[in-house]
Structure 1
Amino acid sequence: MKFDFHTHHERCGHAAGSVRDYIESAIEQGLNMIGISDHTPFFASAEDRPSLTGSMAKSEFPEYIREVVELKKQYHGKIEVLLGIEADFLPEHLELYRSVIAAYPLDYVIGSVHEFAGIGIYDSAYWESLTAARKMEVKKLFYDYIAQSAKCGLYDILGHVDSLNRYFNGYSELRTEAADVMLKAVAESDVVIEINSSDNHWVPDGDLLERAHRYGVKVTFGSDAHEPERVGEHFAAVAGHLYDIGYREWAVFRHRERFMVPIAR
């Protein structure tokens, strides 16, 4: 089975192409399942759309749901279309997001950390300004946020779990027990992590992914595609890597239920 659970589209303001474009690309790539998972609006904001490039407007969210549900029907028999969402982990607004998300017929919810303790995951200049000791503290803070997101019970999948490795130079060389604490929390919470193949830099990879396997952490795949042609990118290579380190199955979702399917080499 070939699938991709992490894709975006033009509503979020920083991706290209319509939902239909991503579905058509998935068919061209031979996928059996395609998940549509654009960013949630900023539900806690008084403004309809506080950022034109950060997410869709609150007023667009019902239409997003309606469109994907309709496309599910249109593509039945050609490809299985899944309705997902990527929701930031915002501890102070968790119950608001929980109530909104519960009102819609989602197949799965991806929980991602894009900011933690006031630090943005893309802020490489901030990282470079830190002392070695502070860099270690920041890494521990990030893992603590991931652990909290696993425990909160809102998410089916945790998105780009080690994303700082893409943007913070030397991040992967810092070793901390906080990584093991985080992985244990994920395993105990029975939440799935995605192998995110965006930007040709998979996360998690290497040591953290091998430790995830040892702790019994379940995995799935998401390209994090922001252009239709990148749907399913690196799927076969990721599957092969997972198999090589000991994984034999990974997770797919329907109606907020998880199903484990074999990893084919």
Structure 2
Amino acid sequence: MLYNLHTHTFRCNHATGEDKAYVEYAIQSGVKVLGFSDHCPQFFKKPNYYSHFRMRPIFVEKYAQSVRDLAEEYKDDIKILLGFETEYYPETYDELIKTIRDLDTDYLILGEHLIGNEYDEEQFYTGERGGDDYLKKYTDQVIEGLEKGVFTYLCHPDLVNHKGSKEVYIKEMTRLCEKAKELNIPLEYNMLGKYYGRNYPNKVFWNIAKEVGNTAVIGFDAHTPTFMLKTDLRDECVNELNDLGIKLLDFDEINIIKP
């Protein structure tokens, strides 16, 4: 069954298109389950701080209502789920998870773009080049987030752009993969990163995942409605996972965790 649980909307300020267009292009592509997972609001403790790449709290109820309305409107054609992609920030977690639960959210996916609490002086975007100490902090924070028991899968786990020791990379990513396997949390093979030729999907990372025995999902990470049409790109990702011998989960095999 063709599915995608990684879909953004214009509310995050770096995606475009109307919500309905994502649904209609998904149906056109043969997608049977579409999960909206826009960047979740955060509730920062620092006055007057807010980041530009996620929706603001004032939009969250309209987002949820839009997804629920589309799920009803298109129920005969496609299954639609309400989700969020979010970072795990220790200082904001309690308020974030309360908001998520109040909205009766179907699922969460973890995408750690920054470490610390984002506004900290030593925060660092994971897609930038970082050394060994930073990689360990990334791994520690992702594992702490996964252990909360609220995330359905870990998206772009190889987003972190490590430029230190290869031995340290293997050690830390093995630790991350082993924890994900222990918790039965799949890892996402990210189509957007592949499409743009970014540092992910990372072959070294996915060879580690193969050795550990992790399972995978493929996430479109759609930021435009027409990206839902890139089923040929998805087929390439499927073939790469098959060549590695990594099990790609069907939708019915995913443990959808309601937070």
TM-score by length of 2: 0.83
Matches within 5 A, 1:215-254: 215-231=212-228, 233=230, 234-252=233-251
Matches within 5 A, 1:1-265: 1-44=1-44, 50-51=50-51, 53-117=52-116, 118-124=123-129, 127=130, 135-165=131-161, 170=163, 174-176=166-168, 177-199=171-193, 200=195, 201=197, 203-231=200-228, 233=230, 234-252=233-251, 257=256
Instruction: Please give the secondary structure, in 2, of the residue aligned with 1:84.
Output: strand
- Counterpart amino acid of residue 189 in structure 2: I
- Counterpart amino acid of residue 243 in structure 2: D
Structure 1 residue 31 displacement after superposition: 1.3
> Relative to 1, partners in 2 of residues 1:255 and 1:150: Cα closer, same or farther, differing over 3 Å?
closer
- Structure 2 Cα separation of the partners of residues 18 and 35 of structure 1: 15
Q: Is the 8 A contact 2:109 2:154 kept in 1?
A: yes
> Relative to 1, partners in 2 of residues 1:71 and 1:10: Cα closer, same or farther, differing over 3 Å?
same
- Structure 2 Cα separation of the partners of residues 192 and 73 of structure 1: 28
- Structure 2 Cα separation of the partners of residues 48 and 79 of structure 1: 40
Task: Please give the per-residue CA displacement for 1:123-142, whole angstroms capped at 9, x wherever unaligned.
Answer: 45xx4xxxxxxx12222222
- Counterpart amino acid of residue 86 in structure 1: E
Q: Is the 8 A contact 1:9 1:38 kept in 2?
A: yes
- Structure 1 Cα separation of the partners of residues 256 and 151 of structure 2: 11
Instruction: Please give the secondary structure, in 2, of the residue aligned with 1:110.
Output: strand
Structure 1 residue 252 displacement after superposition: 2.8
Q: Which runs of 5+ in 2 are unaligned?
A: 117-122
Count matched residues.
244
> Relative to 1, partners in 2 of residues 1:206 and 1:256: Cα closer, same or farther, differing over 3 Å?
closer
Q: Is the 8 A contact 1:218 1:251 kept in 2?
A: no
- Structure 2 Cα separation of the partners of residues 103 and 204 of structure 1: 34
Q: Is the 8 A contact 1:8 1:37 kept in 2?
A: yes
> Relative to 1, partners in 2 of residues 1:72 and 1:192: Cα closer, same or farther, differing over 3 Å?
same
Q: Which moved more, 1:200-209 or 1:97-106?
A: 200-209
Q: Is the 8 A contact 1:22 1:231 kept in 2?
A: yes
- Structure 2 Cα separation of the partners of residues 255 and 174 of structure 1: 32
Q: Which runs of 5+ in 1 are unaligned?
A: 128-134, 259-265
- Counterpart amino acid of residue 134 in structure 2: V
- Structure 1 Cα separation of the partners of residues 67 and 107 of structure 2: 13
- Structure 2 Cα separation of the partners of residues 62 and 257 of structure 1: 22
- Counterpart amino acid of residue 215 in structure 1: V
- Structure 2 Cα separation of the partners of residues 214 and 101 of structure 1: 35
Structure 1 residue 151 displacement after superposition: 1.5
Task: Please give the per-residue CA displacement for 1:4-53, whole angstroms capped at 9, x wherever unaligned.
Answer: 111111111111111111111112222112111101112345889934x3
Instruction: Please give the secondary structure, in 1, of the residue aligned with 2:38.
Output: coil
CA RMSD between the two structures: 2.6
Q: Is the 8 A contact 1:82 1:254 kept in 2?
A: no
